[in-house]
Every structure is written in structure tokens, then in C-alpha cells.
Amino acid sequence: MREIELLDYIQDMDDNFWIVRTLQNGKCYGYPVYPVNSEGTKFNHITEKYYVKATEQMLEVPTEYKRVFKPRDFYKAHKGVLESVWKDYVLALNEIGIEDNDIGIFGSYLVGFDITKDVDFIIYGKENLYKYYENIDYIKKKLNVTSITPIHAEYQYNKHKVRFPEECDLREIIKRNWSGIELPNGVLSTPRFIDIDNQEIPKKEGEDKVVTVKVVEGLESAMLPRIAKVMYNGEEYKIISNVWKFQSFAHINDVIEVYGNVNDDKKTILLDDTNYYIKYLEKSDKLVESADDSVNFEIQDKISATNFKEVEVLG
């Protein structure tokens, strides 16, 4: 495990809490998501100070700091005290083959705030993204939850649209959040998937321009960094993005107009700023090639047998 990874939190020398959102060229970028403020309403049990939640403004993370908060370590220490649906959620992750070593908790809970109604999870490893996708219907059924609802998607769109160009199809991107689970009380929790071996985005070395591409692989646009393979001018390129709200933007056979930093030598299209945009010309519902959207029945049979034994013992 490297010293600082994506979605680690940093407590700086003034006790502000930073989230690490981008790794690029050996440097860490993020913003002080919880700055100290004596007039704030959020009390922190670690520093015993009050805080506000800041708006996002990406900066280089301080290289001198008091502490690094590691989501995986925090999860291991707190799995046993998770409440209600969150306990059931991580048990479901274990059942489908995602091990505790590949699960983390980030967000306010990680850094000492008493906010546990909405726990934010990280799932590490590309292979676990595919396990999650193959079994998302099972997870939702087990927890009695849904995908993001139209009401919540519209709320998210209205909250964030001011930061994006008018050309950006932000509403459609938000609606494509297939991995999030929405509870009956309206709380939405979207796991963040991190490719452990590929956390950095490339330097911006191309030309900012508008191109039209067709998606050939897109499931990994749910990961951080977001990756989609596309065809452009008869060649395969990669769209690479660190933009938070671009999660799951790509479906196979989408035809999209992209404004980004295009590097024709490295065959990359970099979207590392909310000034860039994605606009759908043709939309597809296909997430993976030859996808079987049903639950992984081998896993389901194993789970059913386990649950039967548990009921037998408890009864």
C-alpha cells in the first residue's frame, strides 16, 4: 500500500481535513473538504474543533501534515459496529466474493464526525468492480433498496449543474449511476471503485478540442480514474477522467461528443476539469459485451445454503 492513495484523507498542520481526489505526476491533489471554522456546526471528536463543509476547489495537497486517514484500515476497525443496512451491505459484498481487505470507508465518518446514516464505501480492485456489477441485482434485493431514483437524480443534477458547461449531458450521466443504492428514506450511497494498480491520471500534454467517438468498453468508467475505450478516427483511444460526477458515463455503443485534452501520440482523451464535457449523440443501454444481467447463480446458491444453515442454528 502506498503512503497516500486516492480518497485517503489528510489532516494538515492546522487541523483541516483534505480529501485526495487526484494523483498526477507523482503529486496529490484535492481540497480541504472540512476546514476548521469556529462558527461551524460540525464537531469533530478527534480535534475537538468545529468545521464547515467546503466547496470543491482542487489544489495540491500539503506535503507536511499530521496524519493520513486510510479508508481500508478504518473499515477493518469499524466493520463490527456498522449499523443496520450498512452491516447488511458489507456482508453482501463478502458473500459475492469481495473480501474485507478490498473494502474501505471514506467521508466524514472516517475523520471523526458523527455522521453514520450515510456511510461512503470504497471497493478496491478492478476484478471487484466486475463482481459487483454481476451481482448488483442480488445486492439490491437482499437490502430492499433501489438504484438511484428519478427524484434523486434530478436533485443531484440541480445541485451540481452550475459547475458544468451547458453542453454537458450531466443529467443523463447522473441517471446512469447503476452501482449506487438508494434507501427507502432517500439516502443514496454510491461505492467508489479504485483500480489499485492504476491510480494516476496522465499529464495534460495534448490539444483541447471537440471530438466524436464511439464507446467500445465502458464499465470501468465507474472506477477512479474513470476509463472508457473508444474508437476515434478508426483507432482505439482511452478517455481518462478524474471528474467525480462523470461516474459510469460510458455504455458500449454510445456515440458521444467529447470536449477534452486529446493526445494523438498516446491515444488518450483527458477530462481532468469540469470545463470539459460529454454530450450523447446516440445512447446505449449496454454496459458490458455479452452481459448476463442476472445474478451470479453459483454465488446465489452458495449464499442460500449459508443462509439456510444460519437460520437452522438460530432457530
Angle made by CA atoms 280, 286, 291, in degrees to the nearest 5: 160
Q: What is the pLDDT of residue 290?
A: 66
What CATH architecture does domain 150-200+207-282 belong to?
A: Beta Barrel (2.40)
Taking residues 209-223, report their average pLDDT: 97
What's the whole-number mean pLDDT along residues 268-289? 95
Q: Is the pTM of this model over 0.75?
A: yes
Judge whether residue 297 has pLDDT over 50: no
Question: Does the pLDDT of residue 45 top 90, yes or no?
Answer: yes
**Does the pLDDT of residue 298 top 60, yes or no?**
no
Confidence label for 116 from pLDDT (cuts 50, 70 and 90): low
- pLDDT-derived band at 2 (thresholds 50, 70, 90) equals low
Domain ranges of the chain: 9-124, 150-200+207-282
Contact 178, 146 (CB under 8 A): no
Q: What is the pLDDT, as a whole number, of residue 84?
A: 83
State pLDDT tens for residues 148-191: 999 999 999 999 999 999 999 999 999 999 999 999 988 999 99
Indicate if the pLDDT at residue 314 is higher than 50.
Answer: no
| Omega within 30 of 0 (cis) for the link into 225 | yes
